[in-house]
Every structure is written in C-alpha cells, then in structure tokens.
C-alpha cells in the first residue's frame, strides 16, 4: 500500500479550518443545548403530570430518533420555513443544540434527583425558601455531579457534528470527503481526519479530568 | 411553646399518627422514646412541617403553623437530623453561616463571629475551614447543632441525633445537647439513648403505634411505668 502524504499536506489548511468549525458547532451546540436543557429538565420534574408530559415527549422524541434525520428535518424543512437565510452551519448548530438539550435535560434531572432529600430538609428547616434551597444548596451540588456526564455529552456531540458534512457544512468531515472525492483515495484523508478528531477528543478528556479533580468534590 | 391538638398523619393507607395532643412548655426538655415505626420521628417532623399532617393543629409560640408562615416559624425552630445533612459543598464555617446570612440577612462579619463562637462552643473551632467529608460522625453532628443554633432558635428539635454514630462518639454529641438543656433551651428529643432520656429529660413520652401510650417524669416512667406496653419496651431496651 502506498501512502500519499501530499494529499494530507495539500488539504492540511482545510482540515484545520474544518476542525475549528467542528469545534465551533459543537461548543455552540453544548452551550445552547445546556440552556434549553435546563428549562426542559425543570419542566420534566414539574409536580403536575400534565405539565410533565410534553417535556417528556420532547426528550424522548429527540433521544429516540437518529441525529441524521433530525438534521435533515431541520435543514430541509424546519429552518427554510422559519428562518430562510439559514445556512448549513445554522442547521447543524440548531440540530445539535436541540439534540443535546434532551440529553442535558436528563443529566440535570439525574444530578438534582440524585441528591439526598436530607439536603433539602436541612435547608428548609433553617427557614430557606424553595428558591433559596435550589440556588444555594441543590443546584451547586448538582452541577458538580453533572460535570462528568456533561463532558461525555460534549464528546458525543463533537463526533455527531461530523454528520453536518452531509448537508455541506464545511466542517472537518466535509473536507475529508472533499479530499477523497478529488483524489479517489480513502486512507489518507480519512486517517488524517480521524486523527484530528482523536486529538480533539483526547485533549478534551484530559481537560475534563483536570476539571473533575479540581471541582468535583468527594462526598 | 408547642401546642399540638388532635394531630393525625397518614402515609397512604397507614395511619402513623393517631390523634396526638401534646404541649411543650418553655425551657422544658421533652424526650420521646418508643420502638421503631411508632411515629416519634414523624411527630417531630410535623412540628416544623417537614411532614405535612393529615389533620389537627400545631401552634408554636402561640402562632398557628400553616403554609403562609412556615418559613418564619422554621427560623425559630432549629432541627438536628439523624444523618446530619450538612452541606458537603460548603466548609464547616460556611455551613454554620449560611442560615443567618441568607435567611436572617445578617452581614458576613456578624454571621462569621456568631459561627466562630458556636464552633468554639461545640469544640470544633479548629475545623472551621474543613469540609464535612473530612469530619467524623460525632464532629458532623456537632457542626449540625451549631448550624441550627446559628439561627438563634427558641426551640430545638433533635431527630435521633446519635442513632447514626459509632458508640464512642455518642458521648460528645450528648454532652453538647445536655449543655443546651442546662442553659434552658426548649427541646424535643427523639432518642434511643435511655440513660440520656432519664438524665436530661424533664418529661418522657412513650409512643407506640402512632399513639402516646404514657408520659411522665423520667424516674416514674423508667422505674414504675403504668402501661404494660411501656414495661415490655423498657424491658427490651434497658
């Protein structure tokens, strides 16, 4: 097997540009997803069953269907209807945000519900209101527990963002495909792209471990 | 200080408190004893509405306890739990300071002075900057007592404060509670420590199956109980 380094060298600037976009799409997706997910999770935990149902439907629909289908629906149907100037990148960010919001909502819920009931009772017995209890006692502890699963969700999102190449968002995978199309070679472009994904994910894993060590307390 | 009338509590179909009426006077130390499942913790938790009663009324310092004034009343009623329930993300000092700062709206300095004084009182001023995870059970419970006292409550409720402790740590916690009793704090203590009940209690209440079976001064209850059920229980635990 001959390995033509020149293809990689030629495409290197595009791979880097694509990697940056991949990171950008993923970061936007996890941040917007976290904000939406926070609201969804409170809806999902509402005491009233009829309020809970639509939120739980939202979560289950997004978790129960392939991201690719969600991407196509957003790109070819939803976005053209509500925001015609949207590009492939817009569609990718919207899709990843919606998709991750469902997972994040469940991560938030698990984080809050995993806390001992005694924490709420102790806070309330001091005379704190429900809102104060959430703000000073429950949420700060829940957030620490959420960091590891949120990190995992972010890593998943980075890999799923590669689907955006299919709708021609010029992220990393898109440039791999472009190189393959031009030279009719599979190994060089895809190995290069795979290694870049690996580097991104590994760096992130290390960063997360570092954050966990500093932030996540031992109970 | 506490006036309970015809209190009934259901958990689903189970009636765990059956028509309880009870008064606690100012500076009185009432100790509630009884077998597991007799409803003694539930009764205590109804006083500050951590448990919602099914029917009946509770008055604290002459005020009828309901949803509208519960947060106010809780500031006057300190509670100590079996499992401490310290806030693990806050240091010992912050645990004690958070109530006065967030609820009483004290300044940081005032709350800190109070917290330091209380930690000194329970013998833990050297642990102020530690986190709860690094403390022993007895130390945790003493911090929990300091946290409750920081609100300057008029009444203290203790829900089996030594049941989750290793035997060698029971003494240090009981000493703090005893000290409080001597200062004239109004207290209701649910406990399995019969020696403590006898020594510190002004009045002992024996509960079984959701009812107050017998009450009286400790010496009478422990040496010559009137009711058969009290006798059977005391024979088992003493």
Contact between A192 and A142 (Cβ < 8 Å): no
Contact in structure between A103 and A63 (CB atoms under 8 Å): yes
What residue numbers bound the domain in which A138 lies?
5-216
Q: CB of A132 within 8 Å of any CB in chain B?
A: yes
Cβ B79 vs Cβ B53: under 8 Å: no
Contact A122 B87 (CB under 8 A): yes
User: In this complex, is the C-beta atom of B69 within 8 Å of any C-beta atom belonging to chain A?
Assistant: no
Calculate mean pLDDT across residues A1-8: 86
Q: Determine the distance from the C-alpha atom of residue A208 to the mean position of all C-alpha atoms in its chain, rounded to a whole number.
A: 15
Q: What is the CATH number of the domain that holds A197?
A: 1.10.3720.10
CB contact A66 to B (< 8 Å) = no
Of A86 and B149, more confident: B149
Query: Is B71 in contact with A127 (Cβ distance < 8 A)?
Result: yes
Interface membership of A184 toward B (CB under 8 Å): no
The Cα of A208 is separated from the nearest Cα of chain B by a number of Å equal to 19
**pLDDT over 80 (residue A62):** yes
What's the N-to-C CA distance of chain A in angstroms? 54
C-alpha B94/C-alpha A103 separation (Å) is: 33
Sheet holding B186-190, edge to edge: B77-80, B155-159, B186-190, B29-33, B203-208, B211-216
Its CATH architecture, for the domain B2-235, is 3-Layer(aba) Sandwich (3.40)
**Would you state the pLDDT for residue A3?**
86
Q: Which of B74, B83, B133 lies closest to A118 in CB terms?
A: B83
pLDDT band at residue A215, thresholds of 50, 70 and 90?
confident
Closest A-chain CA to B104: A127
Distance CA B155, CA B152 (A): 9
pLDDT > 70 fraction of chain B, expressed in percent and rounded: 100
Let me know: does A127 contact B151? Beta carbons within 8 Å. Answer: yes
Residue A39: its pLDDT value, please? 93
Q: Is the CB of residue B151 less than 8 Å from the CB of residue B103?
A: yes
Residues 101-130 of A with CB under 8 A from B: 116, 118-119, 121-129
Q: Which residues of B touch A219 (CB under 8 A)?
A: 88, 133
Query: Across residues B52-66, what is the average pLDDT?
Result: 94
ipTM value, please give it.
0.93
Closest chain B residue to A116, measured at CA: B85
Q: How far is A133 from chain B (nearest CA, A)?
A: 10
pLDDT score for A219: 46
Give SS3 for B57: strand
Q: What is the pTM of this model?
A: 0.82
**How would residue B125 be classed by pLDDT, with cut points 50, 70 and 90?**
very high
Number of separate domains in chain A: 1
Residue B143 is classified by DSSP as H
A137 interfaces chain B, CB cutoff of 8 Å: yes
For all residues of chain A together, what is the average pLDDT? Answer: 94
- DSSP code at position B105: -
d(CA A10, CA A39): 46
- Calculate mean pLDDT across residues A15-39: 96
**A48 Cβ under 8 Å from any chain B Cβ:** no
Q: How far is CA B50 from the centre of its chain?
A: 13
Average pLDDT, chain B: 95
């Amino acid at each position: 097997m001959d390995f033509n380094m020149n293809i990689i060298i030629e495409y290197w600037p595009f791979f880097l540009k694509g990697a940056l976009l991949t990171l950008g799409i993923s970061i936007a997706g996890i941040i917007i997803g976290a904000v939406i997910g926070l609201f969804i999770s409170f809806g999902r935990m509402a005491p009233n069953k009829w309020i809970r149902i639509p939120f739980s439907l939202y979560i289950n629909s997004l978790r129960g269907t392939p991201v690719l289908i969600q991407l196509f629906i957003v790109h070819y149907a939803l976005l053209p209807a509500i925001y015609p100037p949207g590009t492939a990148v817009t569609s990718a960010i919207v899709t990843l945000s919606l998709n991750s919001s469902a997972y994040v909502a469940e991560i938030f819920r698990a984080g809050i519900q995993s806390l001992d009931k005694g924490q709420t009772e102790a806070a309330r017995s001091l005379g704190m209101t429900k809102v104060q209890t959430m703000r000073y006692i429950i949420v700060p502890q829940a957030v620490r527990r959420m960091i590891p699963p949120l990190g995992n969700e972010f890593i998943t999102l980075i890999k799923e963002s590669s689907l955006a190449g299919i709708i021609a968002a010029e992220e990393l995978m898109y440039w791999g495909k472009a190189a393959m199309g031009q030279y009719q070679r599979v190994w060089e472009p895809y190995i290069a792209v795979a290694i870049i994904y690996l580097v991104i994910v590994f760096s992130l894993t290390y960063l997360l471990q570092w954050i966990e060590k500093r932030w996540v307390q031992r109970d | 200080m506490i006036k309970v009338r015809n209190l009934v509590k259901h958990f689903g179909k189970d009636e765990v408190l059956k028509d309880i009426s009870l008064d606690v006077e100012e500076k009185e130390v009432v100790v509630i004893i009884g077998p597991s499942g007799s409803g003694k913790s539930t009764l205590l938790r109804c006083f500050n509405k951590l448990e919602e009663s099914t029917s009946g009324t509770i008055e604290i310092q002459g005020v009828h306890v309901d949803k509208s004034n519960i947060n106010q009343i809780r500031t006057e009623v300190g509670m100590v739990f079996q499992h401490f329930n310290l806030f693990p993300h806050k240091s010992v000092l912050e645990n004690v300071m958070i109530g006065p700062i967030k609820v009483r709206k004290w300044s940081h300095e005032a709350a800190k002075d109070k917290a330091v004084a209380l930690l000194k009182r329970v013998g833990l001023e050297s642990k102020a900057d530690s986190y709860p995870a690094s403390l022993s059970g007895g130390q945790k419970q003493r911090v929990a007592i300091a946290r409750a006292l920081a609100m300057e409550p008029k009444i203290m409720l203790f829900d089996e404060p030594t049941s989750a402790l290793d035997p060698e740590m029971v003494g240090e916690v009981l000493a703090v509670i005893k000290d409080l009793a001597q200062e004239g704090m109004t207290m209701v203590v649910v406990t399995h420590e019969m020696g403590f009940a006898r020594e510190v209690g002004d009045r002992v209440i024996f509960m079984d199956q959701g009812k107050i079976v017998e009450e009286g001064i400790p010496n009478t209850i422990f040496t010559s109980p009137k009711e058969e059920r009290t006798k059977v229980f005391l024979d088992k635990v003493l």
